[in-house]
């Protein structure tokens, strides 16, 4: 995807082709390190590979990747040529292409989930401050696009905060479980079994080098991919709700909130006086794009047949990396959006009074919106207590 058509993609630097290539190199290094630790390669072999990687391994030409069907075959050829015949015999020994690529994708996922946690925490802190500040700030509640009973803006911010904290919890549950992949040609570790009586120990060492879990091969059991996509999809949904609300509440005819302003932000090519809510627009865009990608990954998972998939695995790659980059970008943008959000509590109060007059006059009761808040402030306090507990 072109950076020209994905504004903000620089926020996810390292999760695209450049980051994937580095992750592939790290997987090959970690595997050789595991072979060394188990006595099936030497320190000299590992030093040769480490030096070759440090010198820089350029991305292969697209046509060579197409010829093999994945980038790993060309990666192995390049590395073996770089380290010489002796060390080259041990590079990639006992692995298959899917092992390397799947493990590399898990490294990218680990990075993306870590960044997502950071951005969600920043967003949560800003939302907690909004909820605390506006705990009793009256605003019109709206259901099915129409005025309903009054609420407070603190409650709205607190509900956004719950969504963000739930998404962060899901990410924190997922991140420690990311697995390495090491099954060999058909998921049996057959070649590795000819090298050692303890193949699981080699895989354990390999996973530890990468900071991933050692598990059974998962070539056609794609839960690790779909689980990451699911939690990132949840995060995108949470911030999509925030962006959608800000877009509505920021309309000139509503005017209850506004994105923070800065020089050059939100400018129009034809109407210089405008200040478009660009962060909200971009976050909403990501929230619309990610769910179909998550669904696509579940479809690929269901079609992962035999011992190695014939196309379903390949169809995961662009969708999975798009989920990573779109989500990290959107969460970073949301942290900026919420951190700079301007709230017009007076405008909210005026509209709450108008809405209350229309709705409550029919009941023959008073029209003070504060009399109809129910448990709104108590709910805010509950959410803030959760945030304060950490």
Cα 93-95-100 angle, rounded to 5 deg: 125
Give the pLDDT confidence score for residue 367 in this predicted structure.
82
Q: What is the rounded distance in angstroms from the CA atom of residue 137 to the CA atom of residue 346?
A: 9
Q: What is the rounded distance in angstroms from the CA atom of residue 138 to the CA atom of residue 372?
A: 10
84 CB neighbour count, 10 Å cutoff: 12
Please give the model's pTM, rounded to 2 decimal places. 0.94
Q: 389: which 2 tokens?
A: 């507990």
Catalytic, out of 67, 190, 262, 268 = 268
Q: What is the rounded distance in angstroms from the CA atom of residue 175 to the CA atom of residue 132?
A: 30
Q: What is the rounded distance in angstroms from the CA atom of residue 84 to the CA atom of residue 49?
A: 9
CB contact at 8 A, 134 and 154: yes
Helix or strand holding residue 341 (H, E): none
Q: What is the pLDDT of residues 193-248, one digit of tens each?
A: 888 889 999 999 999 999 999 999 999 999 999 999 999 999 999 999 999 999 99
Return the closest-CA partner of residue 160 out of 240, 230, 229, 231: 240
User: Can 261 be counted among the known catalytic residues?
Assistant: no
Cα 31 to Cα 45, 51, 186, 358: the distances in Å are 12, 15, 18, 70
Per-residue pLDDT of the chain (390 residues; tens, 9 = 90+): 567 889 999 999 999 999 999 999 999 999 999 999 999 999 999 999 999 999 999 989 999 999 989 999 999 999 999 999 999 999 999 999 999 999 999 999 999 999 999 999 999 999 999 999 999 999 999 999 999 999 999 999 999 999 999 999 999 999 999 999 999 999 999 999 888 889 999 999 999 999 999 999 999 999 999 999 999 999 999 999 999 999 999 999 999 999 998 766 656 555 566 679 999 999 999 999 999 999 999 999 999 999 999 999 999 999 999 999 999 999 999 999 999 999 999 999 999 998 888 776 666 666 888 888 999 999 999 999 999 998
Q: What is the DSSP string of 257-295?
A: EEPPP-TTTT--SS-TT----HHHHHHHHHHHHHHHHHH
Domains of the chain: 3-389 (1.20.200.10)
Buried b vs exposed e over 58-78: b needs ≥16 C-beta within 10 Å?
eebeeeebeeeebbbbbbbbb
Catalytic, out of 142, 213, 258, 308 = 308
Cα 381 to Cα 88, 142, 280, 294, 386: the distances in Å are 62, 22, 27, 34, 9
Residues in the chain: 390
User: Can 222 be counted among the known catalytic residues?
Assistant: no
Match 């609420």 to its residue by tokens.
151
């Amino acid at each position: 995807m072109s950076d020209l058509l994905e504004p903000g993609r620089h926020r996810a630097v390292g999760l695209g082709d450049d980051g994937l290539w580095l992750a592939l190199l790290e997987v090959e290094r970690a595997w050789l390190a595991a072979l060394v630790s188990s006595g099936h390669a030497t320190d000299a072999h590992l030093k040769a590979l480490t030096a070759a990687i440090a010198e820089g391994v350029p991305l292969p030409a697209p046509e060579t990747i197409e010829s093999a069907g994945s980038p790993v075959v060309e990666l192995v050829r390049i590395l073996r040529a770089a380290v010489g015949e002796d060390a080259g015999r041990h590079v990639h020994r006992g692995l298959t292409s899917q092992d390397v690529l799947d493990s590399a994708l898990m490294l990218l996922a680990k990075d993306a989930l870590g960044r997502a946690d950071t951005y969600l925490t920043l967003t949560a802190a800003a939302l907690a401050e909004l909820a605390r500040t506006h705990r009793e700030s009256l605003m019109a509640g709206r259901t099915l696009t129409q005025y309903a009973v009054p609420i407070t803006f603190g409650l709205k911010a607190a509900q956004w905060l719950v969504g963000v904290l739930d998404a962060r919890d899901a990410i924190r549950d997922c991140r420690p479980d990311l697995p390495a992949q090491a099954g060999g040609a058909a998921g049996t570790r057959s070649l590795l079994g000819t090298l050692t009586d303890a193949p699981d120990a080699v895989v354990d060492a390999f996973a530890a080098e990468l900071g991933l879990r050692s598990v059974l091969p998962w070539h056609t059991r794609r839960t690790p991919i779909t689980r990451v996509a699911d939690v990132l999809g949840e995060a995108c949904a949470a911030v999509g709700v925030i962006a959608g609300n800000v877009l509505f509440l920021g309309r000139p005819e509503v005017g209850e909130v506004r994105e923070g302003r800065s020089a050059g932000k939100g400018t129009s090519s034809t109407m210089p006086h405008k200040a478009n809510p660009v962060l909200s627009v971009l976050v909403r865009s990501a929230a619309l794009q990610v769910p179909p990608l998550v669904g696509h990954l579940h479809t690929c998972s269901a079609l992962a047949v035999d011992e190695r998939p014939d196309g379903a695995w390949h169809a995961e790659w662009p969708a999975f990396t798009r989920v990573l980059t779109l989500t990290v970008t959107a969460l970073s943008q949301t942290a900026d959006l919420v951190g700079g959000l301007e709230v017009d509590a007076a405008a909210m109060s005026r509209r709450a009074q108008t809405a209350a007059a229309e709705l409550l006059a029919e009941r023959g009761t008073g029209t003070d919106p504060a009399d109809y808040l129910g448990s709104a402030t108590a709910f805010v306090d509950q959410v803030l207590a959760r945030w304060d507990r950490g």
